[in-house]
Amino acid sequence: MNLKIKNVELKSNLILAPMAGLSDVAFRNMCLKFGAGLVCTEMVSAKALSYKNKKTEDLLITLDHEVPKAVQIFGHEPEVMAEAVKNPLLAKFDIIDINMGCPAPKIVKNGDGSALLKNFDLAEQIISACVNATDKPITVKFRIGFDEKENIAVDFARMCERAGAAAITVHGRTTKQGYSGIVNYEAIKQVKQAVNIPIFANGNCETREDYENILKITGADGIMIGRASLGSPEIFEEILSGKKPDVNKFEQIKYHYETLMKFFPEKAVVLSMRTHLANYLKKEYKNTKLLIELLKMNSYSEIIEKLRQNML
């Protein structure tokens, strides 16, 4: 039986996480090519959308064949979030996800992201407002708690379901943990047993063995992959098939640059690609003279020629 979120059928049960500064249009489409069941934009400010912020709108660029795709929005004002959901720029997305798990201090300080784990009533108002503003599936991504003192995952999940969420993703760490420390898969298991909507587990899935173990422990319907995919969009195929796909890393990098340059100036692309480039080359060229040289270059032609000389 194929996995669905409301009326949206996923290509597999392994989905791409929204990652700030990294889940760009080129990377998302490579992940889809390698079997990701669903891809998502990096988180987008509902408030900035209401101001018609150009940089925010740039995050919503997609390709025609990018299906299925989700957009993730964040904010703490129900009416602003509902207006964002109705924004014409979001019409092309199949699913709208609400971020209630980002641990970044500047996000939490504003009452957004995982700050909402401390305010169930407001979180429920936000989800309900978004659900009532669209026929599209509304999903929620959150963490198991703000700190180790309390695990609110089950109660928060039940609230999300009650408010109309079509699916939820649970990152098995607290806000205080950030992206380090032990992932609490038992807490995700408790969430799965408590609600009747699809559950995606998030945290530390890097291999086929991880995938099988996490699904076995949690009973989750699927798994969200984040940092493990960076520099390796083929990880989806590798995990799903259990076999390492034959990929041309040079061609991946070239596609990534050239796709972004269809939409953005070369200078901006070269700058934004530095983290991606380091990730693509981390296994073979980490801390090498070549990588240091590449990260200092400001021209695509110069970068690609240097890569061609060293990788082909």
What is the rounded distance in angstroms from the CA atom of residue 141 to the CA atom of residue 180?
18
Residue in 31, 40, 102, 205 annotated catalytic: 102
Read off the pLDDT of residues 216-237 as tens digits, 9 standing for 90 and up.
999 999 999 999 999 999 999 9
In this predicted structure, what is the pLDDT of residue 287?
Answer: 66
DSSP, collapsed to helix, strand or coil, labels residue 70 as strand
Identity of the amino acid at 241: S
Q: Where in the chain are the domains?
A: 4-241, 249-311
Superfamily of domain 4-241: Aldolase class I (3.20.20.70)
Read off the pLDDT of residues 134-192 as tens digits, 9 standing for 90 and up.
999 999 999 999 988 778 999 999 999 999 999 999 999 999 998 888 899 999 999 99
In this predicted structure, what is the pLDDT of residue 147?
Answer: 86
Which residues of the chain fall below pLDDT 50?
A: 1
In this predicted structure, what is the pLDDT of residue 11?
Answer: 94
Nearby residues of 95 by Cβ (< 8 Å), 6 or more positions away: 5, 8, 38, 40, 68, 69, 70, 71, 136, 137, 138, 139, 166
Report the share of the chain in percent with pLDDT over 70: 99
In this predicted structure, what is the pLDDT of residue 48?
Answer: 95
Please give the radius of gyration of the chain, using alpha carbons only, rounded to the nearest integer: 19
CA atoms within 13 A on the CB side of 28: 28
What is the rounded distance in angstroms from the CA atom of residue 83 to the CA atom of residue 62?
21
CB 250 within 8 A of CB 307: yes
Q: Are strands 4-5 and 8-9 parallel, antiparallel or unpaired?
A: antiparallel
CB 120 within 8 A of CB 150: no
Sign of CA dihedral 139, 142, 144, 150: negative
- Give the pTM: 0.95
Residue 102 falls in the annotated catalytic set: yes
Helix orientation angle between 185-194 and 208-218, rounded to the nearest 10 degrees = 50
